[in-house]
Amino acid sequence: MKLPAFLTKILHALWPKSLASQLILLLLAAIFAAQALSIWIFHDERRIALVAAARDNLLARSVSVAELLEDTPPGLQDRVLEASSSRFAVFWLGDTPLAPAPGTSRFEQRLQGYMSSRLHHDQTVHLNILADEKRGPKVRRDRDVDQDDASWRSVPKRERPKNLRKIMNKPEDLSLSIQMTDGRWLNVATSYRPPPGAYIPLLVQLGITSVLTVLIIGFAVRRVTRPLKTLSASAEKFGRGEELEPLDPSGPREVRALTSSFNDMQDRLTRFVKDRTRMLAAISHDLRTPITSLRIRAEFIDDDENREKMIETLDEMAAMTEATLRFARDEAHAEGAEVTDLGAMLESLAGDQQDLGHECSVTSGHPIMLSCRPVALKRALRNLIENGIRYGGKVSIEAQQADGEIVIRVSDTGPGIPEDRLKDVFEPFVRLEESRSEETGGIGLGLAISRSIIHAHGGTITLQNGRDEGLVAEVKLPTR
């Protein structure tokens, strides 16, 4: 059965998000469900046991009183009956039986047979259980009894004991009549009521169990989640390119193993990136000498046209080498993370372009603070802005913060890029001849460098054509 959409949203909003809260909630729900089921199954067991014990005691006492009365002089029988009565049961002798007929249910017949076997004078026993089914055994009533009335009212008033009305203020649970040898009946009526269900102790027990469960589970889960939170924060910082010290493994064995694996991964990735960066820097550095040598040799070529083309190609190769070497040097420099005002950074970049006579505007609103590597991020954003000015002429920058991330949009008014080539421009040394000519364009590393830096900060960068004209570069950076 599918829940309504609004109810699903409410449950999703109320459902705790942390592991500790979810475990505590599920365990409390299990405890409450188990306790409720136990109470529902066993809530009347104590009452039934007390009723059964009281009836067994009453039946045994009735047999003893009947045998005692057979051997007691008439003058002392009233004193015996008075001494045998209690606040829950009344004994008296009369000519009219309180139970007019033997009980017909299996349970009543079994009790009647039990009493007859205990009596030594073969007396007749009538026993009727009148309790409702919720309080006692399921027996068939021999007659309809109004619960607001009592069967002892059918006994003539002259035969009723004086304190019967005072004691028997409720319908009796059991009516017993034993015929004596002289023809009279020993009547026994009981209105025994066990104490009401004790729900307060159950609620106290449930409350103590819940509190202890919350404390124990909270301690256990905190022991697991605390190193996991540290690991999550370190992974986030490492994803942004920050230099981190190896974490100290703590917590359960599985969490310690996870922390050790993270330390190993961090060490391997750091060494891999550094090795690749050093190799790239070495190759770029080593290429400078042969490129310079080829350019000198090209100067001695007599054919002017070929000489100019070769020199132009060598200059382009030298520019690529210098850009690659500069990028490798920047990557090798371990810049620390700082909390930076991103709005102020964008204003500074726009101001630099305005000083050069370019049209560049910024809309940022409130101050936007971000933990980042400011020099690297500034270089990435500068590449995007310069790219828009080079091919669009006019650039507008918009920055806003919402839903745990910062969104920066750099829009230009240029010709845009074909939809099928939007992702290709992020590849190193890729230039689109249709809209990015070699005369006005760079060497094809600007967007690749920008994407690398933004990804190192845990963000994303996408390009899309504007509705009417131009290109929009959208950068999303996480705030935590």
Q: What pLDDT does residue 397 have?
A: 92
Q: Can you tell me the mean pLDDT for 383-391?
A: 87
Band (pLDDT 50/70/90 cuts) for residue 314 is confident
Q: What pLDDT does residue 197 have?
A: 55
Q: Can you tell me the mean pLDDT for 449-462?
A: 85
Band (pLDDT 50/70/90 cuts) for residue 172 is low
| CATH superfamily assigned to domain 338-478 | Histidine kinase-like ATPase, C-terminal domain (3.30.565.10)
Question: What number does CATH give the domain 245-334?
Answer: 1.10.287.130
On the question of a common fold for 245-334 and 338-478, the answer reads: no
- pLDDT surpassing 70 at residue 300: yes
Give the H or E element holding residue 185. Answer: strand 185-190
Q: Region of 4 please: left (phi>0), alpha (psi -120 to 50) or beta.
A: beta
- Read off the pLDDT of residues 405-433 as tens digits, 9 standing for 90 and up: 899 999 988 888 888 888 778 776 666 64
Number of CB atoms found within 10 A of residue 396's CB: 19
**Please, what is the Cα angle at 469 between 467 and 470, to 5 degrees?**
110
Domain boundaries, the chain: 18-43+197-234, 45-190, 245-334, 338-478
**Cα–Cα nearest to 457, from 398, 370, 382, 366:** 370
Q: Region of 38 please: left (phi>0), alpha (psi -120 to 50) or beta.
A: alpha
Q: What pLDDT does residue 192 have?
A: 59
Tokens of 414: 């240029």
CA pair distance 323, 334, nearest whole angstrom = 19
Q: What pLDDT does residue 3 have?
A: 63
Tokens of 380: 């990435």
**Cα–Cα nearest to 339, from 311, 296, 374:** 374
Residues 6 or more apart from 410 whose CB is under 8 A from it? 381, 384, 385, 388, 395, 396, 397, 472, 473, 475
Residues 6 or more apart from 280 whose CB is under 8 A from it? 324, 327, 328
Band (pLDDT 50/70/90 cuts) for residue 434 is very low
Q: What pLDDT does residue 474 have?
A: 92
CA pair distance 28, 70, nearest whole angstrom = 62
Q: Please, which residues bridge with residue 411 across strands?
A: 396, 472
> Greater confidence, 151 or 305?
305
Report for 1-5, 19-23, 62-66, 372-376: range of highest mean pLDDT: 62-66
Tokens of 452: 């690398």
* 3-class state of residue 137 by DSSP: coil
* 3-class state of residue 252 by DSSP: coil
Q: What pLDDT does residue 410 have?
A: 92
Residues 6 or more apart from 114 whose CB is under 8 A from it? 59
pTM passes above 0.75: no
Q: What pLDDT does residue 409 have?
A: 92
Distance in angstroms between the alpha carbons of the first and the last residue of the chain: 39
Number of CB atoms found within 10 A of residue 290's CB: 11
User: With the C-alpha atoms ordered 252, 254, 257, 261, is the resulting torsion angle positive or negative?
Assistant: negative
Integer CA distances (angstroms), 23 to 56, 252, 410, in order:
49, 17, 45
- pLDDT surpassing 80 at residue 296: yes
CA pair distance 359, 347, nearest whole angstrom = 13
- Read off the pLDDT of residues 199-211 as tens digits, 9 standing for 90 and up: 677 778 778 888 8
**Cα–Cα nearest to 108, from 97, 116, 119:** 116
Per-residue burial over 343-356, b = 16 or more CB atoms within 10 Å of its CB, e = otherwise: bebbeebbeebeee
CA pair distance 237, 254, nearest whole angstrom = 22
The whole-chain average pLDDT of the chain stands at: 77
Give the H or E element holding residue 108. Answer: helix 106-118
- pLDDT surpassing 70 at residue 158: no
> Greater confidence, 85 or 440?
85
Number of CB atoms found within 10 A of residue 150's CB: 21
Residue type present at position 219: F
Q: What pLDDT does residue 142 have?
A: 40
Phi, psi of 453 (to 5 degrees): -65, -45
Integer CA distances (angstroms), 397 to 121, 185, 356, 362, 378, in order:
113, 108, 17, 5, 14
Q: What pLDDT does residue 149 have?
A: 44
Q: What pLDDT does residue 143 have?
A: 41
Q: What pLDDT does residue 42 have?
A: 67
Tokens of 29: 């729900």
> Greater confidence, 325 or 421?
421
- pLDDT surpassing 50 at residue 148: no
Q: Can you tell me the mean pLDDT for 354-368?
A: 86
CA pair distance 120, 69, nearest whole angstrom = 12
The DSSP-derived string for 430-448 is ---TTTS-TTTS--S-HHH
- pLDDT surpassing 70 at residue 221: yes
Q: What pLDDT does residue 266 have?
A: 86
Q: Please, which residues bridge with residue 177 across strands?
A: 126, 187
CA pair distance 421, 417, nearest whole angstrom = 7
Band (pLDDT 50/70/90 cuts) for residue 133 is very low
